Amino acid sequence: MLVAAARTPAHLTTMVGRRSAGSPLEQVLGWAEFCGLRIAVDPGVFVPRRRTEFLVDQAAAAARHAAAMARQAETERRCVIVDLCCGSGAVGAALLAVLDGIELSAADIDPGAVRCARRNIAAGGQVYEGDLYEPLPAALRGHIDVLVANAPYVPTEAIGLMPPEARIHEPRVALDGGADGLDIQRKVIAQAPRWLAPGGHLLVETSEDQAPRTVGMFVQSGLIAQVARSAELDATVVIGSLE
């Protein structure tokens, strides 16, 4: 892959040096494969994980359900999707690739990630820089059909146990979920009902061990929650609906 990506022998030498020094392959190449797409990934930007493809599948199903409900109600409006903690914009880009006629917004607190997301989402949606809901347009409040959040969920004390590609070369803000790994999830879930449309869905990627506590937070916020699991991808998603 490095040979194929190299523009010149000198460029190949540079890339081999970066990879040998521990930089993630995706950051060296400048892209990651995700849901069949090439997602631009700059140095220092969180690399999308394959397990998160399951989050895309579940979000796409929720969006199709919202579109079907809109047709039944004979309303003429596009499905509104928001991707919080969007990182490189991989989830949003994948949803744009598989869904027609959606209105996509994404947000992340990391400026480097936002720059990547704007390239990956391009003309298909809007990307905002800021902390969770803070940068989103007020007009979205109460109108989001599908709210997706791949918030960091690694407990602080476990960061040191992660592979060096992650703990050294990816931003701490994209990894550290606080003492129990659920700090950012708590903020996302607590505010979600104010932003979701009636019947809207919140989808949060988490770990299998953390899922029961994530479900509890959904229920406390008034959402009907269920857990979806992919053994193949070792992926867990908690899905909540606002009735």
pLDDT at 67: 83
Question: Which tens digits make up the pLDDT trace of 133-163?
Answer: 999 999 999 999 999 999 999 999 999 999 9
Amino acid (one-letter) located at 33: E
Residue 141's nearest CA partner among 184, 80, 77 is 80
Neighbours of 224 (CB within 10 A): 12
Residue 141 is predicted with a pLDDT of 96
How does pLDDT run across 6-30, given as a tens digit for each residue? 999 999 999 999 999 889 999 999 9
Please tell me the pTM assigned to this model.
0.92
Q: Could you state, in order of their start, the residue ranges of all structural domains in the chain? A: 47-241
- In sequence order, what are the residues at sequence separation of 6 or more whose Cβ sits closer than 8 angstroms to the Cβ of residue 78? 101, 102, 103
The pLDDT mean for the chain works out to 94
Residue 70, pLDDT > 80, answer no
Contact 184, 151 (CB under 8 A): yes
Residue of 149, 151, 153 lying closest to 203 (CA atoms): 149
Q: What is the CA angle 126-131-134, rounded to 5?
A: 70
Residue 74 in this model has a pLDDT that exceeds 70 = no
CA distance 65 to 46: 30
The 3-state DSSP class for residue 95 equals helix
Whether residue 96 contacts residue 121, with contact meaning beta carbons closer than 8 Å, is answered with yes
* The CATH number of domain 47-241, selected from 3.40.50.620, 3.40.50.150, 1.20.1260.10, 3.40.50.410: 3.40.50.150
In angstroms, rounded to a whole number, what is the distance separating the alpha carbons of residues 220 and 39? 36
Q: Give the torsion sign (CA, 41, 125, 61, 38).
A: negative
Q: In what order do the strands lie in the sheet with 102-108?
A: 125-129, 102-108, 79-84, 144-149, 196-206, 235-241, 224-230
Q: Which residue has the higher pLDDT, 72 or 205?
A: 205
Which of 73-87, 123-137, 140-154 has the lowest average pLDDT?
73-87
